[in-house]
Every structure is written in structure tokens, then in C-alpha cells.
Structure 1
Amino acid sequence: MKLETITASETVGELIARYLAEIGVTTVFGVISIHNMPILDAIARQGRIRFVPARGEAGAMNMADAFARVSGELGVCMTSTGTAAGNAAGAQAEALTAGSPVLHITSQVDLEFADRDRAAIHDVPRQPEMLRGISKAVFRMWDANGAVGTLTAAVSAALSAPTGPVSLEIPVDVQRRAAHPATRIHLPQPTTPIAPESVIDEIAELVKTAKRPLLWLGGGARGAVREATELMRRGFGVVTSTNGRAIVSEDEPQASGRST
């Protein structure tokens, strides 16, 4: 993938639109607002990402969650600040429960008024606290100079195992500022926990002595379809959680289906 350098004439909103396109995002779901227009206008001008408008923020988050579950890719939801971010909360809690890799880009009032309870339109002085309850992680883009780093960190967190929805607050005045010239876009760097060799050896010894080895597959096993299927075919029974359904075919005799 060829990553482009941001030009001096771009705003942060244009940077965000370019960044999402460069890392492979094809679709964004959301609700248009005065607080996110700098980003959405840039998405429309660039024409590289399809924006799917929703009638409400909960629906937009549900769609981003569903997109992530079906495609296995990053789902992106765009909301306004305060009330709008709150409207998405229930749907985002579902994404958190399912471990869906979703980036929730929400806005904030102008940076000088953020967290000050100055009664600006849609202002919620404790918005970060609200978002922490329904997010794997929460980031805020404090200035234009750190825009690429903040975006990369937020996307990397959403895609890192265990995956989950990540909220990114971007004050509307920051969206309008000029992006730092000659800044390169960096691909996200998701991480995957690796078990120590000693743990793998211990599991192997337990499997060797087991009379009826059984796999319990949850949502965290969604990236191991081939491996789980192979173990099932070698004699392992399989039970899945709700989020682990369809990791292995339930038509197989070794698969007992979802556990309740």
C-alpha cells in the first residue's frame, strides 16, 4: 500500500478523510452535524469513502458494528458531540460486548470550552467519562500537530486483540485547523498477545492425556477459524459462546453449537 504525504494546504478534517481512505476504510456510517462537517465535507470532496447516513446515532453505530462483524474489517461511525455521542451509547455497548473493531469518531465543542461546563450547544462536560464506560479506549485529538499519531493510536487500539470499539474525540475547531505540513500517514499497528512457550507446552500435555478434549470458542477465536476447524476434525468437541458462533461449522458432528 502506497501511503501519501499530507500537503500543507490540508485541514485536519481533510487529513482524517485521507487517513481513513489510505488505511483501507471504504464505508463510514453516521449522522451529519455542524460539529463533524469539516470531516464529512472532506470525505465528500475526496470521493474515496462511501458515507452512509443514518436517521439516528444508535442506528449508525449498529451499522458500523454489523459491518465490522460481517467483513472482519474496521467499522467506522461518525457522530456529533454530547447528546449525539450519548445516543450511540447503547449500540456501542453491544459492540463492546461483541468485541467488534469499531472506530467511533465523535466531536467536541471548541477546545477552549471543552470540559468546562459552559453550556455550549450539545456540551457534555463529562463526555470522556461517558465514553470510557462503553469503549475499549478513549482518545482526544488535542491539536493539529498530533493528529496522525492520535488517529494511528486509536485505530491500532480498535484492531488489537482483544478488539473492541474505540472512541476518538475531535473538537470542531481542531477539525478546521491546518494540518501539519509534510506529515506522513502511518499504517495502524495492531498487536496480538502471544502465549509463552511454557503455556503452550502445558496445554499440549493436557491435550495428550485428555479422554475427551473440548474447545470452548468465544469471540476472541474469530481470527482462528482454520486452526479451530482443524482441531475439531482431529477429534476435539466444540462448544461456542454467542459471539463464537460460526467460527466452526455447526453442521459438523463434533460441534454442539452455542452454550446457553
Structure 2
Amino acid sequence: MPALTCGQAIVKLLESYGVDTVMGIPGVHSIELYRGLSASSIRHITPRHEQGAGFMADGYARACGKPGVCFIITGPGMTNIATAMGQALQDSVPMLVISSVSQRAHLGMGEGRLHELPDQRALLSGVSVFSHTLLDVQNLPRVLARAFAVFSGQRPGPVHIEIPVDLLRADASGIDLAAWPALVKPMAAPAALDQADRLLRQAQRPLLIVGGGAVAAGEPLVQLAELVGMPVLNTTNGKGVVPPSHPLAVGGSPSCGWLKNEIEQNADVVLALGTELGETDYDFFGYGDINIQGKLIRVDIDAQQLYRAVKPEVPILADAAQCAQQLLALIKQSGVSDQPQRYQLGCDRAAALRAERERSCPAEYRAVFAVIDRVLPDCLMVGDSCQLTYYAQMYLERQAPRQYFHSATGFGTLGYAIPAAQGARLAKPDNEVLCLIGDGGGQFTLNELSSAVEAHLKVIFLVWNNSGHGEIRRYMDAAGIAPVGVNIHTPDYVKLAQACGCQATRADSLEQLETALGTAVASEGPFLIDVTADRLVTGLPFSGASF
């Protein structure tokens, strides 16, 4: 055995890039990735399914901004994690998936080798920014540098690197184990900034939209909004970038009818930072694709994204945070003569939009969110596709960025929240983490409760239990389709959670929910609360018409 194998070199290189956690399930084809792990500073978390590993890595990355890293076995491990990679790709989440693959001499031979796929890299290329097969250990530092360049210097997403089983054992003694220099993110071109400066200072009804790509732009964005007098809307992934207490903050979701109308019809200039302007954020309720009538200033780190969905008046290729700082400095230099009046008009518009949002929120759900905010005011919340999450995206605000995210307005995978919440807790060990998931979606990844117990991860799992796939059942009823496949058997979540080693209880009223949340906060490990939805609230079903 060489003094340093390729598998050991991978661990040391990851350490040099600041990786502190890896999710994975060891297998006969990947054990060489683990040779150097126990002697490293990297913590290993073992999920119960490779999809769970991917969702954990996703939640970790969203909570702290660093890439989530997975070690995955050849073949079925990669097909298992593909769904999680699709979710990360859709929502621009940095994720590094390092896998094994068949020996170099066996690649593409189709001889029925263990875990063999005809072309594993090609399969994963569709759910990654790039997928690379390492064929020479000397190239390992360069390939990892490319991966971290994606995470830090462009629109991020999952990267897949596969390494043949025989190469994982190869001698890597001579390679450089230092991280490559960090990238400086692109700044906006002066000509584009001049155009944006002119449009914003001339605007009568400017509007600012903040997406997930702007999570690091908070302070300059607040100042920019105040200077120009722009009400601030945010997508789900942009929650908390501008604090909801700010008089210009609107909150909600751009999919809501009155907010969509503000974007399309009322604003004469729209400044959109780090948002894809796509269906899941702007047409969740079927009102139609976004159609902005005013002039659109669009800022994105991805050149292609600047021309998707909506044609911009001013496309700006830049990092959102740096662009916000540049634009703020330029507008200050140019001067806004009527700034106090503009600011007040912007505050008045924002107040009217907030009032509409409050009027449309069903009192039952407002009461549920009030309980959550009372007991867990600063918690990090991770949601799945379920009724409670659909309301949360519109009516639940957070005080800071990266405190709320879900799968519903991205790839839309079910079962995301249970493992993703654990990833968030790994990234933010001092934060309370609340997982929102339905009883149907929960059955996709219920096995990951054991992972939380094993890793001593204090996560509160709130199961919104409507005895099946309640939201799809509502859609089938509305379409006049007999409800087939939605009234599924729901297990006893309390007993199952306890069998996994979690503390658990049931809540049938707001009072019981508040008590249960308080007990969960005081506990030391994972805690599950099974909420009987039809007893806890009335006024259901969920109706898109109210938005």
C-alpha cells in the first residue's frame, strides 16, 4: 500500500478547502474513500439511504453556504442520490458528490460487474453542473479546483466526480494537497451600472425582487431600497435578506395574485437580483407566466440565466452582493433629489401590499404560525411539499437569510425535509431547527429519523398529518377525478419515531402544539410532533383562489 493513496488524498484536499462534514454510506467500492477519514478533522454522517445523504448535503449547504459533500457508492448509490442532485441543481445549491465507479479496465465493457451502469457519468450529467471521471490521480487537484470554482464563482449546483475503484488505491504521494486560490466573484460592468442608475433614479414606482442568489447582499440591498424608495419582494429562497420589520419589506411570495400584479402591471422599473423568474416562484397558483410590463434590470451571476423566462432591459452579469454595493455607491454619487418623498411613497406601497397579504391569510394558519414564532422565534425552518409549507412560503417570514427553505418551489421532491433539516442542524449546531413535512411525504424518508438519533441531532420534526396525500387529493376533487392513490395508509408516526429512538408526541389543538414545541425545545435530542391537521385547524381545504 502506498504512503498516500488517492482516497486519502481526497480527504486531505477536502480539508484544505474547509470541508468539515461528509455524508455517505460506505460500500465495497468506496471503502478506500474512508481510509484517511478517521484521522482527519472531517465528521462523517451515515444516512439510511443515499437520497437522504443528498438531501442532508442540500440542507447543510443552504443553511451555511458551504458545499455539502457526499461519498457515494457506484451504481445504485448514484441512482439513489440523483433525485437529491436534481433538487440541488434546480435551486442552485452547492453540492459535491464523490463516487466510485468500475475499474478502468472494466469501464464501458458491459460484462455484468457489481454495481455496473452502462455510463454512470452520462447519467449524472443531467443533474449536475458537470460530471467528471478521474482517470489519472495527478489530475485530482485540478478537478477539485474546478468543483470549488463552481461553488464560489458562478451559479452553484451539484458537481459529480467519479473515481475508478482501482484508482482510489493508487499512489498519490506526489500531488499538491493545498487548496487552489479562491476566486474573486465577477463585478458589474460600468456601462450596465450606468443604465441601471439612470432607470432607478427616474422610476416613479420602482420595485426590488430578492431571490436566493442575493442571500449575501442584505445590508447594501436595504440601503439601496431606502435610497430609491423601492418596496422589497422576496422569493422563498430570499426570505430574510431584508428583515420583515423593515417598512419597505413586503414578504409573501411573488406567486400571490396581488404581488404578481404589482410586479407585472404597477411597477415601472423592476430590479431583480439572483432570481430565475421561473414558474415555481412566480406562477405557483396557475396565474400564468411572469409578464413584466415595466423595465427590468436583471442581475445574475449566470449569463444564460439573464436571458431565461423574461427579457431584461438591462442585463447585468455580476455577483448580487457586489453589484448591490456598486449600484448603491453610484446612485449615491449621482444623487436622488426627492429621496424623502420617494422613500415614503415606497413605504406606503409596501404597507398596502402587506395589508393585502394579512387579509388573505386564513386565520387558522396565522394562528399556527403565531404559535411557532412564539415558541421558536429564531429557529431555522426546513419544509417539504405539504399544506403547511405552502402557506408558510406566503405568510411566514424570517428575520435573517438562510432561516427558511423548502423543496416545494424547486424540483418539488417529497421526503426532502427530514434529512435536509438534519443537514441544516449539522451546519448550524447552535440553531433550533424545525422540520415541516406531511404524513405522505414523510414516508419517503422516515427511515432517516434513525440517522438523527445516531448523530445526536436535535431537530424538531412537525408532521402535518391529513391521512394521505391531502393536497393532491384536493386537486383531484377539484378536477372531478376519483381520488385514486391518495388515501394511503398512514402509519402511527409517534410509535415509529419512538421505535427509532426519537421522543415523540401528538398534538390535536393549538394549545397542545404549543406545549409540544416547548417540550421539544427543552429536550436534548430529536423530537417528533404528529399534528392531526383536521383537528388543529378548520377552514380547509387549501385554496389557490385566496392568493
- TM-score w.r.t. length of structure 1: 0.91
Q: 1:13 aligns with which of 4, 7, 18?
A: 7
Offset at residue 191 of structure 1 (A): 5.4
Structure 2 counterpart of 1:23: 17
Q: Distance in 1 between matches of 2:221 and 2:94?
A: 21
Offset at residue 134 of structure 1 (A): 0.7
Q: Distance in 2 between matches of 1:81 and 1:123?
A: 7
Structure 1 counterpart of 2:155: 162
Secondary structure in 2 aligned to 1:121?
Answer: coil
Q: Which moved more, 1:248-257 or 1:165-174?
A: 248-257
Structure 1 counterpart of 2:240: 246
Q: Distance in 2 between matches of 1:183 and 1:26?
A: 20
Q: Distance in 2 between matches of 1:24 and 1:121?
A: 34
Q: 1:124 aligns with which of 117, 121, 131?
A: 117
Offset at residue 200 of structure 1 (A): 0.6
- What does 1:220-259 align with in structure 2 at a 5 Å threshold? 220-234=213-227, 235-257=229-251, 258-259=253-254
- What does 1:76-95 align with in structure 2 at a 5 Å threshold? 76-95=69-88
Structure 1 counterpart of 2:132: 139
Structure 2 counterpart of 1:102: 95
Q: Does 1:39 align with 2:65?
A: no
Q: Distance in 1 between matches of 2:97 and 2:183?
A: 17
Asked whether the equivalents of residues 208 and 232 of structure 2 are also in contact (C-alpha less than 8 Å), the reply is yes
Asked whether the equivalents of residues 77 and 104 of structure 1 are also in contact (C-alpha less than 8 Å), the reply is yes
Asked whether the equivalents of residues 103 and 158 of structure 1 are also in contact (C-alpha less than 8 Å), the reply is no
Secondary structure in 2 aligned to 1:32?
Answer: coil
Secondary structure in 1 aligned to 2:35?
Answer: helix
Offset at residue 160 of structure 1 (A): 2.4
Q: Which moved more, 1:229-238 or 1:118-127?
A: 229-238
Asked whether the equivalents of residues 25 and 49 of structure 2 are also in contact (C-alpha less than 8 Å), the reply is yes
- Deviations 1:201-240 (CA, angstroms, capped at 9, x unpaired): 1000000001122111112112322222222333221112
- Deviations 1:111-146 (CA, angstroms, capped at 9, x unpaired): 121233222111111211221111112122111111
Q: Distance in 2 between matches of 1:183 and 1:190?
A: 19
- What does 1:180-195 align with in structure 2 at a 5 Å threshold? 180-181=173-174, 183-187=176-180, 189-190=182-183, 192-195=185-188
Offset at residue 183 of structure 1 (A): 2.7
Q: Label 1:97 to 1:141 Cα distance change in 2 as closer, same or farther (>3 A).
A: same
Q: Which moved more, 1:126-135 or 1:247-256?
A: 247-256
Asked whether the equivalents of residues 74 and 159 of structure 1 are also in contact (C-alpha less than 8 Å), the reply is no
Secondary structure in 2 aligned to 1:42?
Answer: coil
Asked whether the equivalents of residues 141 and 175 of structure 2 are also in contact (C-alpha less than 8 Å), the reply is no
Give 4+ residue runs of structure 1 displaced > 6 Å after superposition. Answer: none
Offset at residue 250 of structure 1 (A): 2.5
Overall identity of the aligned pairs, in %: 32
Q: Does 1:199 align with 2:226?
A: no
Q: Label 1:134 to 1:72 Cα distance change in 2 as closer, same or farther (>3 A).
A: same
Name the aligned partner's letter for residue 40 of structure 2.
Answer: G
Structure 1 counterpart of 2:57: 64
Q: Which runs of 5+ in 2 are unaligned?
A: 256-547
- TM-score w.r.t. length of structure 2: 0.44
Offset at residue 168 of structure 1 (A): 0.9
Secondary structure in 2 aligned to 1:255?
Answer: coil
Q: Label 1:73 to 1:238 Cα distance change in 2 as closer, same or farther (>3 A).
A: same
Q: Distance in 1 between matches of 2:27 and 2:181?
A: 27
Q: Distance in 1 between matches of 2:177 and 2:37?
A: 19
Secondary structure in 2 aligned to 1:256?
Answer: coil
- Deviations 1:85-107 (CA, angstroms, capped at 9, x unpaired): 11011111111111111111111
Q: Distance in 2 between matches of 1:178 and 1:246?
A: 48
- Between 1 and 2, higher relative CO (CA 8 Å, sep ≥ 6) is seen in 1
Q: Does 1:171 align with 2:164?
A: yes
Offset at residue 55 of structure 1 (A): 0.5
Offset at residue 192 of structure 1 (A): 2.7
Offset at residue 75 of structure 1 (A): 1.1
Q: Does 1:49 align with 2:29?
A: no
- Deviations 1:42-71 (CA, angstroms, capped at 9, x unpaired): 111x23100001100111011111111101
Offset at residue 181 of structure 1 (A): 1.4
Secondary structure in 2 aligned to 1:34?
Answer: coil
More helix by share: 2
Q: Distance in 2 between matches of 1:15 and 1:55?
A: 26
Q: Label 1:184 to 1:48 Cα distance change in 2 as closer, same or farther (>3 A).
A: closer
Q: Distance in 2 between matches of 1:48 and 1:233?
A: 44
Name the aligned partner's letter for residue 84 of structure 2.
Answer: A
Asked whether the equivalents of residues 144 and 177 of structure 1 are also in contact (C-alpha less than 8 Å), the reply is yes
Q: Distance in 1 between matches of 2:169 and 2:103?
A: 10
Count of residue pairs brought into register by the alignment: 252
Name the aligned partner's letter for residue 259 of structure 1.
Answer: P
Secondary structure in 2 aligned to 1:232?
Answer: helix
CA root-mean-square deviation: 1.7
Asked whether the equivalents of residues 161 and 190 of structure 1 are also in contact (C-alpha less than 8 Å), the reply is no
- Deviations 1:17-46 (CA, angstroms, capped at 9, x unpaired): 1111121111111111112111122111x2
Offset at residue 84 of structure 1 (A): 0.7
- Deviations 1:140-177 (CA, angstroms, capped at 9, x unpaired): 21111111111222222233221111111111111110
Offset at residue 180 of structure 1 (A): 4.4
Name the aligned partner's letter for residue 207 of structure 2.
Answer: L
